[in-house]
Amino acid sequence: MAACNLQRTGWRDELKDAGRGAANSLCSGVLAEVAEQIRVELLEAGLNGGQLLDIGCWDGAATLNYASAVGARPFGVEVFADMAERARSLGVQVAEVDLEQEGLPWADNAMDVVVCNQVLEHLKNIWGAISEIFRVVKANGTVICSVPNLSSLHNRILLCIGRQPTSIRVMGPHVRGFTFSEFRSFLSAGFKIERIRTTGFHPLPPAYTKPLCRLLPSLGHTTICVCTKVSAADGWWRMSPARMRQLQTHYRGV
């Protein structure tokens, strides 16, 4: 009986591992779709040359892909020292910055384009980060931001059956959740929204996702927003540090 129970437990573990493997594969596929869509957005924006800043550049591979698409000089921001060093080895000029507490080390209006891919959902202090992005990008410069879509189809289904959305797991790295419409509202407080769309239609494989994301954009896996800096009027990007603190939960030790 004990052997039979162990065997059954083994089968359950194998099934769980297989499920996790399939989920990781789908997630990797979505992330690859997002990176490729950002590259397409850069080309569609008609960018040519200048300086490109990739917020959360990791090892620099995607940064070089973005920069090479438009002939720009690659710059990056990364909080992990080992990843920053790997990006530097590829030729990316990287600043190690904690976006929760530090500003960006570039002058006002220094960048022609800023990419912020899958970063804001990891930050408690989203106002400081987006304020700095606004500051360093040139007037009429392009900003491309992406976040997981809290209102995606698979997250809605999970909520309907009483499960936690994958975009903001309790034991996960994300501390912010953005629905499709909320992300548009957040960015439109300071930028002109040029285009907003989604990529990936979890749990479907990439071959089926593009038409569905065009037809039902608010249900896609990841929201991608292309913006332009058109003014310096008052808004969240000029919010005082005291006001930012009022809007945040204080996490001790963070």
Domain boundaries, the chain: 2-246
**What does the pLDDT read at residue 2?**
40
Contact 61, 83 (CB under 8 A): no
Looking at residue 186, what is its pLDDT? 94
Locate 235 and state its tokens.
């808004």
Q: Which pLDDT score, from 0 to 100, does residue 230 have?
A: 86
Residue pLDDT, tens place only, 138-192 = 999 999 999 999 999 999 999 999 999 999 999 999 999 999 999 999 999 889 9
- pTM of the predicted protein model: 0.85
What pLDDT does 26 receive? 53
Which residues, other chains included, contact 19 with Cβ-Cβ below 8 Å and sequence gap of 6+? none
pLDDT of residue 59: 97
Superfamily of the domain at 2-246: Vaccinia Virus protein VP39 (3.40.50.150)
User: What share of the chain in percent tops pLDDT 70?
Assistant: 80
Computed on alpha carbons and rounded to an integer, the radius of gyration of the chain in Å comes to 20
Return the beta strands (E) in 83-242 as ranges.
93-96, 111-117, 137-148, 192-199, 222-228
CA 219, CA 216: separation in Å to the nearest integer? 6
Which residue ranges of the chain lie beneath pLDDT 50? 1-9, 11-23, 253-254
Cβ count near 74 (within 10 Å): 23
DSSP category for residue 79: S
> How many residues are listed for the chain in this entry?
254
| Rounded Cα gap, residues 125 and 143, in angstroms | 19
User: What beta strand segments (E) does 31-148 contain?
Assistant: 51-55, 73-78, 93-96, 111-117, 137-148
pLDDT for position 81: 97
